[in-house]
Every structure is written in structure tokens, then in C-alpha cells.
Structure 1
Amino acid sequence: MWLIISGLLVGGMLGFVMQRTRFCLTGGFRDMYVQKNNKMFYALLIAITIQGIGLWILSLFNIVQLPYESFSVIGTIIGSFVFGIGIILAGGCATGTWYRAGEGLIGSWIALGMYALFAAITKAGVLKPFLDKMNSVTVVNSNVSQVTGIPYWLLILVLGLITLFCVRKELTKPKPKFAVPTLKPKFTGVRHLFFEKKYHPFMAAVAIGLIALIAWPVSISTGRNYGLGITTPSAHLLQFLVNGDTKLLDWGVYLVLGIFIGSYIAARGSREFKWRLPDKITIRNSAIGGAFMGIGASLAGGCSIGNGLVSTATMNAQGWLSLLFMILGTWFMSYFLFVKPMRQNKKVSVKPQTA
């Protein structure tokens, strides 16, 4: 029972916070290139740093034993790049797809289904031999501290200083001079606080970093030595629905179900839930993006949460390498979906008209 309750509770908190704060790594990575806006990336650094500091303290008291496994450099690079392409097409990363499905977005349901399907196909289906082959080449140690000889606490300290510098730089930027119109609150009191109040991405990052930290000891108490994770649980959920094997229902499966439930509660409470049917192009992109996400995350050994948020906090080389090429993948796809069309439109608009 604790397995079910704790997974749903942690997932519910994560889904609720992400839905209410619109914490979206896909949009953040895209905006770094398209709009030259690094705010969401800095928010991710905050969440990683908070989790990392907490893990260092928990490891000192032997509450958490940080897991490190060897990994394929080539597999991680290719998989992360493909995953980055996929999340732009799908309009959300793995976690974003789960919480947006809870808002009623049919496109996210399509992307989520394809993501889980192709993750299962890659991890346990016809693509598993390809995955095994990729995982057998260019295999290296993932423990940055062990490889470099730099203590874990010192790596976290350096990360913390970099994060502080980035946050200070962002917060001291001159604010735009134009006034943003404010709307009269629909709710009051506690309901306004939970379902209407707008939160800065940095505040959202603090909450998400703490939830990611809590996930470790809670997950460990159920026999699963890891924190937040989305790809394998999503694949396990689909496999369970197909073959009914209850052994697949670990803490991670209830975590992702909790994300969906938490998002649904947040969307209902804020009156943002609405069934929305996308157009044909969005349906196509969601399906292709979801497939790319499933294959890419399986090859890379994690998604934007498993690698980009969790493994990075443990100073795992795979996490940081994956985060880099995930971002590059989003920039690559953003060029074709956003930058190139904008440039073409500008050329058309300045072209002189002839009588």
C-alpha cells in the first residue's frame, strides 16, 4: 500500500506544481535559441542544485547510496539528440506530456501513447537488439567524482556558484518599461494561492528541486534505488496493460500516474481543463515526436527528468552529456519549425510589391 500511496503522492505534487507554474523544459530549451531567453534553463539549474545539495547531505547519513553505472557515450549522444527533436515535435518533454494530458490536450495523449509504446518497443521489443548493440560500444564510467578525483561536495559547490551567478544575472536584468495589464482575481484566499497566483519560474524550480529530492528516500523505501524517472515507468505501464504482469507496477509507475492526477486536479481547480482536439499537422507531429521521445530516451538512458534533472544532480556524466545533446536536438528542430519560417516570412514581407 505504501508503494502505491507514496508514488501517487510524490507524482501528484510534481504534476500539480508543473501544471500550475507551467514549468516546461521543452519551451525553455527552445527559447534559449529562438528568443535568447535562458530563464527556464537557469530554473533547471536551481532545481538540480537543490536536489544535489540534499543528496549530498542524505549520502553523508547513508540514507541514500547514489547509483552509478557505466554508459554508452554514442548511445547517449544519439538518443538525447533524437529525444530533443521529439519533444519539439510533440510540444512537451516526457513529464510535460504527462501533465498536459491531464489538462485535456488530445495532442499530448497521442504523444504520450507513442512515447510509451516506442519506449517499450526499444527496451523490451523488436528494437531491443539495437539498444543492446548501442549500449555495448564506447562504454565509460559515469561517476564524475570518481573519474576526476574531485569530491562530490566540491562539484556541487561549483554548480551552486554557477547557479547563483546565473540567477543574479537574470534577476538584475532591466525590467521592460511597458506596463502589463493585471486582471482582477477570480479566486480569493487559499484558492487564489493554489489555483490562480502566478509564480516565477525560479520559485517553481525550488519546489520541483525539493520534490525531486524527496523522491529519493521515498522511492528507496519501496526497494527502488533512484529518484524521479519517467521513461521506464511509462514503458512498464504500457506493458502491464498488455500482459497484466503486476511485477511491472513499481514505484515509478505510480509516480507517472500521480503526475497525471496532480495535473488534472490543478487544471480543474484553476478552470483550465478543457478537451482540445488538435489539427492534422499537430496530430502528425505529436505522433512522430512521441515515437522519437520513446526511442531517444531509451537509447540515452533517460529523458529530460531522468537525465536532465536527476542524473545531473548526482554528478553523473551521462546526465550532463545527455542534457547537452538534448538541448542541441531541440535547437536543431526549432530551426526548422520556428526560426526558418520566421526568416522566410520576413523576406516575403519586405519584398516590394509590383502592380
Structure 2
Amino acid sequence: MKRLPLVLALAAFAVFLVWSVSARQGLLFLVGIGLGAALAGARFGFTTGWRMLVEQRDARGVMGQLLLLALASVLAMPLLGLFPELTAALGPPSVSLLIGAFFFGLSMQIADGCGSGTLYKAGLGIPLNMAILPVFALGSFLGSVHLDGWLALGKTEPVGLVSTWGWMPALAATLVALALVGWGVRRWAGNAHPLWDKRWVVGAIALALLATANLLLAGQPWGVVYGFGLWAAKIAQGVGAFDPSANWFWSQPGNAQRITQTVLLDVTSITNIGILGGALWVAAKKTETSKPLTGQQWLVGMAAGLLMGYSSRLAFGCNVGAMLSGIATGSIHGWIWVPLAFGGTLIGLRVRRHFHF
């Protein structure tokens, strides 16, 4: 697809949103386009960065992610402290979180993309990720339907460092913790590869700025998973296969309202659509290639996509909603999510190698 017609189409949709929905939704769509362009243009893959570290002792991807977390925290935490109407990405420490994070880390390596990675790679035209996108949505919806049962296994109240300590101590503690992780990563990686890569650094800066813009416009941190689950829930309701009023998650006031409204009013859905558009814009300049997959690889990849969607809902987010937005806004659940997801990644990489992805 040529870039000019694509740009005109994206601009027309943004104008439509401003005119027919709200200026905020139009601006969030533009933020989403920026997020997609930054992710695809820099090939800023959370999944890839972890795989590089484990398999090649190449820390450039993870250091880029740590830089992103630090910059996003520096920008978000003062805003949360100064403007109480903004909300943090809080999730309850729970059995659901532990299990969900582990299986998300496992499945994202097999599926070769987390929530944001699946979106931008689908926008780049990579067949596996294009096929996984609707399966991910189905899994996220099923996870939401079963979430109350998982939470019944044990949970505590969410803990937000900004509201508990104040933004300055919360930010200081977060930066110290990130520095310690960076030191450990540097020790593990050794000197075989450079520590920094311009592509990852530029991507981290762009994503931190855009995530902050999302926080200011939406009043909540950047997320991905909720939009997927909402799309599938609306389809299930539309065909008469699901009654949201009979489900714990979808009968919650906010969720019950969103499932009756157009997805154009949902902030997560709008940025997700924008991410696809931004990735398409990058793909219009350079086509992404991928190796053909066998039938077995397709089957395993699709199963991983379903599990990834399901586990992301149990874990209260993916690498974006739980790790990036959770840590950057001071949620303890983000710090719990990371080591569990990384443990799952170690298993997922073994499965990935076994099936020769």
C-alpha cells in the first residue's frame, strides 16, 4: 500500500473521531499511530529483547526496556502525584497474577510477540501475528469471563507506591530498583555485545513520551489487553453467545457500560487501532518478511496465542499494561509480574526451539 493513500485514510479517520466522537478520541488515535510507528520503526520488541538476553547474552534490548521504564516513571509519577484524577495501572497481587504472568511469558516467546508486539507485527503483515490477533482477543475474553474464579484462589488489595509513599520516594525507589536490574543484566551479559543500541534508545524515548501523552489524554496508563477482550466480548454478545450481566467481570459498572457502547469510545481500543495504523505506515515503506511455517508450527503458534490472551487477563496486563504501565505508575503488581513472566520465557524459549520457530 502506498503511504500517501494510507496517510489520507488515517487522517480522515482521525477527523471523523474528532467530529463524531470526541477530540480526545481523535488525539488518542494519533497517539496510537505514534506508538505503532515507534514500535514497528524501532522493532522495539519486548519479547525479542528478552530472547536476545537469554540466548545471545545481548543486553541491548533489555537495556532499552529499562531506559523506557525509567523515562516513563520520571514522567508519570509526578503527574500522578500532582493530578489525583489520573489513575495508576494497579492490579491485585494474587494467585491469578502469578499464574497468568508465568504463562504469558511462556506463550509470548512461542507466539513471537506480546500484546503490543502482536499488534504491530500484524500491522507489518507478518502472517502468524495476523492470525494470532483474533485468537489473542478470544483468549483475553475467556480470561475475563473466568477471572472471578481465579481471584477466589487468593488475592490482596492493589498497592500503589505513589499513593502510599508519595511520588518522590516512589520514583526514587523505582529508579534505584531499575538501576540494580540494569547492573545485574550488565553482569550477566558480559562484554560480547554493546550495551546500547541507537534503535532501542530512540524507541524508548518515543514510547515514553507517547505513553505519557496517553496518560494525560485518557486519564489512565497505556494498555493493550482490555481492548482485545472488549472486541471479543461484543462479538460474543452480538451473536447471542454471552450475557454480560451474568458475568462478574462484565457486570462491573465500567465494563458493563463499555460493552454497550461503540468501541470508538473505548480509549484502549482507539490506541490499539492506532498502533495497527502506525505499523501499516512503517510497512508501506518496507515489507517485513517471515519464513514459511509448517502445519505443526501454525497449530502450536495459534495455541500459544490463545494462551497468551487468556493469561494476560489473569495477569492484569501484558508487557505494556502490567510491566511498563504498572512499574511506571508505581504498582507493586508490575514488579511481581516481571520475574514470573521472565521465568515463563525461559520455558517458552525451550518450546520455541523444540518446534524450530
For normalisation by structure 1, the TM-score amounts to: 0.77
Contact 1:58/1:64, CA 8 A, preserved across alignment: no
**Residues 1:131 and 2:142 are matched in the alignment:** no
What TM-score do you get using the length of structure 2 for normalisation? 0.77
Deviations 1:252-292 (A, max 9, x none): 111111111100001112x2256976432331222011111
Could you tell me how far 1:18 is from its partner in structure 2? 0.7
2:277 pairs with one of 242, 261, 269: 261
1:110 aligns with 2:110: no
Q: Which letter maps to 1:214?
A: A
- Classify 1:30/1:284 alpha carbon distance in 2 versus 1 (closer, same or farther; 3 Å): same
Question: Matched residue of 1:287: which SS?
Answer: helix
Q: Is the 8 A contact 2:77 2:330 kept in 1?
A: no
Measure the CA separation in 2 of the matches of 1:118 and 1:229: 16
Q: Secondary structure at the match of 1:286?
A: helix
Q: Which amino acid aligns with 2:151?
A: N
Is residue 107–residue 282 contact of structure 1 (8 Å, CA) maintained in 2? no
What amino acid is the match of 1:32?
L
2:233 to 239, 246, 255: 239
CA RMSD of aligned residues (A): 3.0
Distance 2:97 2:139 in 1: 17
Distance 2:338 2:131 in 1: 25
Q: Does 1:298 align with 2:313?
A: yes
| Structure 2 residue corresponding to 1:6, chosen from 19, 27, 51 | 27
301 and 70 in structure 1: CA distance in 2 versus 1, 3 angstrom threshold? closer
For the 8 Å contact 1:105–1:276, the answer to whether it is kept is no
Question: CA 1:212–1:167 in structure 2 vs 1: closer, same or farther (change >3 Å)?
Answer: farther
Following the alignment from structure 1 to structure 2, what is the Cα–Cα distance between the partners of residues 3 and 243?
A: 27
The Cα shift of 1:199 comes to 4.0
CA distance in 2, matches of 1:150, 1:204: 30
What is the CA distance between 1:200 and its match in structure 2?
2.6
**Aligned residue number for residue 204 of structure 1:** 203
Number of residue equivalences = 309
CA distance in 1, matches of 2:193, 2:162: 46
CA contact (8 A) 2:162 2:170 kept: no
Residues 1:78 and 1:141: Cα distance change in structure 2 (over 3 Å): same
Query: Paired residue for 2:347, among 332, 341, 353?
Result: 332
Distance 1:131 1:292, change over 3 A: same
Q: Aligned-pair distance for 1:237?
A: 2.1
Matched residues, percent identical? 19
Structure of larger gyration radius: 1
For the structure 1 residues 217 and 239, does the alpha-carbon distance in structure 2 shift closer, same or farther, using more than 3 Å as the test?
A: same
Distance 2:84 2:165 in 1: 22
Is 2:120 aligned against 1:82? no
Structure 1: where are the runs of 5+ without partners?
A: 178-197, 221-225, 343-355
Question: Closer, same or farther in 2 for the Cα pair 1:294/1:70, shift >3 Å?
Answer: closer
CA contact (8 A) 1:11 1:254 kept: yes
CA–CA distance in structure 2, aligned partners of residues 243 and 6 of structure 1: 29
Distance 1:63 1:152 in 2: 11
Q: 1:25 offset after TM fit, Å?
A: 0.7
Tell me what 2:213 maps to.
Answer: 214
Question: By how many angstroms is 1:241 displaced?
Answer: 4.4
- Alpha carbons of structure 1 residues 9 and 169: separation in structure 2 relative to 1, 3 Å: same
Partner of 2:116, secondary structure, is helix
Q: Distance in 2 between matches of 1:119 and 1:320?
A: 22
Q: Secondary structure at the residue paired with 1:201? A: helix
Of residues 170, 173, 182, the one that matches 1:158 is: 173
Q: 2: CA distance between counterparts of 1:167 and 1:261?
A: 37
